[in-house]
Structure 1
Amino acid sequence: MILLAIGWELMARSLANPLVPHVAEIGSELVRILSDGSFVSQVLVTLGRVALGFVFAFAVSLAVGIAMGRNRYVRQFAEPAVLIGLTVPGLVWALLCVIWFGISLTTSTVAVALSLAPPLTLSIAQGVKTVSAELQEIAAVYQLSQRARLRFLWLPTLYPFLLNGIRIGLSMAWKVIVLVEIFGLSSGVGYRLNVEYSSMNVAGVLAWTIGFAAVMAVLEYGFIGGLERRLTRWRRVASV
């Protein structure tokens, strides 16, 4: 980060262009949006929209992914749609949802779900196929309950695949939700980026971008990384 800031400052001084602000100007904008409370409030709005779309996508992906992993007919039927969903750019989902649903909570929820569901579904399906057939037979011989099988057999196997799918899906969801907010909503990080862009405040655009990227990094390395270490600690213990 320090090298990037130094490189940017050198570029800004060499170009001497108002469209390439100095690091001090960007820092000043970042302090402003943090001190007036607008950054925290708008980030919470954006995160809430992502969370709602994630819950919807997770419920659908879990059901479809398990069915794809356990039944080849379901896999043959659903896999083309999942692969197509992976190739559709987030910009397309954002535009379509704004056209279909207008300015509403449904717009952001569906757009996030459509971008997050394909990678999550595919990861779950791949995880289900890796569950050991021998362990499934042992569970059947000992007549373990469905709850016990889910807790001790299925979930430990699926955790890495779930987290991988969540990482990929969220990386796409952040881009989609910002685009939706830019195109059709009146709050959120995307909306604030659009406001700064409309006023040609490049330093403001960069300040919001840096702040939002920092929040995403905290979620990735703090929340998701911590969750992964907690859920997969049995693997480290078993390998000792």
Structure 2
Amino acid sequence: MTQTIVPPDTEPAPRNPVTGSRRRKTRAAGPRRWIVSGVALITAVAAWAVVAAWVNDPILPQPLNVFERVVDIIVSGEALTNFASSIGKIVAGFAIAMVGGLIIGFVMGRSRFMTAYFSLPLFVLGSMPGLTYAVFGLLIFGVGPGGPIVVSALVALPFIAMNVAEGVRSVDGNLLAMCRAFERNRRDVLRHLYLPALVTFVFAGVRYGFAMAWKVEALTEVFGASDGVGFMIRKAYQEFQVDDMLAWTTLFVVAMVLIERGLAYLENRFFAWRKEIA
């Protein structure tokens, strides 16, 4: 009696216990991606250092000087205070956008007339330049938190509404007919049919909406705010502190990347079963 030995490099991937499909081994892709990203970052910083040494002017500080300012800003507590202010404004704006986006997206998904009615306004809101939002926020609300909050809501609203509409359209019509046949009330239909279908679409809208809203919110703070990351960038610009301006910009970019990666991880963690089924 002979036995067939499968070589290690040709061993089949384990099957998914739910769907029975084989899962591809993708863990090795993660470290390779981080290595490539790290090499690209180191190359960019090295090029920055070489150009700064060649220019030899305060208008282009060395990366080490900017890093020292980043550390000073974090240690002094200014980073925590101003980032908390900016994130608080975005959260308030997102709360407004979430309520409006859920309502508008739901009626768009249920009615072709509402889709035609809201398509152009949402397209305009999503396509308007961030500078326009910042200027109007300053003109209408002045210096204060009102402008960044409203601007964040207007920027995030189209992404949430359009994704909610797609989620509503994705609901199986046969399931709706079954609910009507069994005389299920609207509360049960919303809770057990629409809500599971909308969660992934809403999460995707929040991810893209957050990335856009924070950039425009920071730009609005540059024009009209008394605190926040954008205000600190404007303050550094007015004082001609280029290293401070680059330090705040670096902190802003790092925070955005961390938050976006965190949201992507949560999406993959909680909704991986949908991708496996697909």
- The question of a shared fold, defined as TM-score above 0.5 by the shorter chain, is answered with yes
- Runs of 4+ in structure 1 deviating by more than 3 angstroms, as ranges, are 142-148, 236-239
- The code of the aligned residue for 2:75 comes to S
The residue that corresponds to 2:266 in the other structure is: 227
- The code of the aligned residue for 2:170 comes to T
- The code of the aligned residue for 2:261 comes to Y
1:25 aligns with 2:65: yes
- Residues 188-199 of structure 1: pairs in structure 2 closer than 5 A: 188-199=228-239
Q: Any stretches of 5+ residues in structure 1 without a counterpart?
A: none
1:152 aligns with 2:192: yes
The residue that corresponds to 1:162 in the other structure is: 202
- The code of the aligned residue for 1:102 comes to G
- The code of the aligned residue for 1:228 comes to E
The residue that corresponds to 1:86 in the other structure is: 126
1:16 aligns with 2:56: yes
Structure having greater relative contact order (Cα 8 Å, sep ≥ 6)? 1
Alpha-carbon shift at residue 148 of structure 1 (Å): 3.5
1:183 aligns with 2:214: no
- Residues 103-142 of structure 1: pairs in structure 2 closer than 5 A: 103-142=143-182
Alpha-carbon shift at residue 154 of structure 1 (Å): 1.6
Alpha-carbon shift at residue 58 of structure 1 (Å): 0.7
Larger deviation: 149-158 or 34-43? 149-158
The 3 A distance-change label for structure 1 pair 151 and 227 is farther
Higher helix share: 1
Alpha-carbon shift at residue 237 of structure 1 (Å): 6.1
Aligned residues: 238
Alpha-carbon shift at residue 102 of structure 1 (Å): 1.3
Alpha-carbon shift at residue 117 of structure 1 (Å): 0.7
Q: Is the 8 A contact 2:133 2:151 kept in 1?
A: yes
The residue that corresponds to 2:24 in the other structure is: none
The 3 A distance-change label for structure 1 pair 81 and 62 is same
The residue that corresponds to 2:47 in the other structure is: 7
Paired residue for 1:60, among 82, 85, 100?
A: 100
The residue that corresponds to 1:35 in the other structure is: 75
Alpha-carbon shift at residue 106 of structure 1 (Å): 2.0
Q: Is the 8 A contact 1:159 1:232 kept in 2?
A: no
Larger deviation: 52-61 or 87-96? 87-96
Per-residue deviation, residues 55-106 of structure 1 (Å, max 9, x unmatched): 0011001000110110111111111111111111111111112101212332
Q: Is the 8 A contact 2:102 2:164 kept in 1?
A: yes
What CA distance in whole angstroms lies between the structure 2 residues aligned with 1:79 and 1:149? 26
What is the CA RMSD across the aligned residues, in angstroms? 1.7
Matched residue SS, 2:240: coil
Q: Any stretches of 5+ residues in structure 2 without a counterpart?
A: 1-40
What CA distance in whole angstroms lies between the structure 2 residues aligned with 1:227 and 1:29? 32
TM-score (norm 1): 0.92
TM-score (norm 2): 0.80
What CA distance in whole angstroms lies between the structure 2 residues aligned with 1:135 and 1:226? 31
Paired residue for 1:44, among 84, 88, 93?
A: 84
What CA distance in whole angstroms lies between the structure 2 residues aligned with 1:161 and 1:15? 49
Larger deviation: 109-118 or 33-42? 109-118
Larger radius of gyration: 2
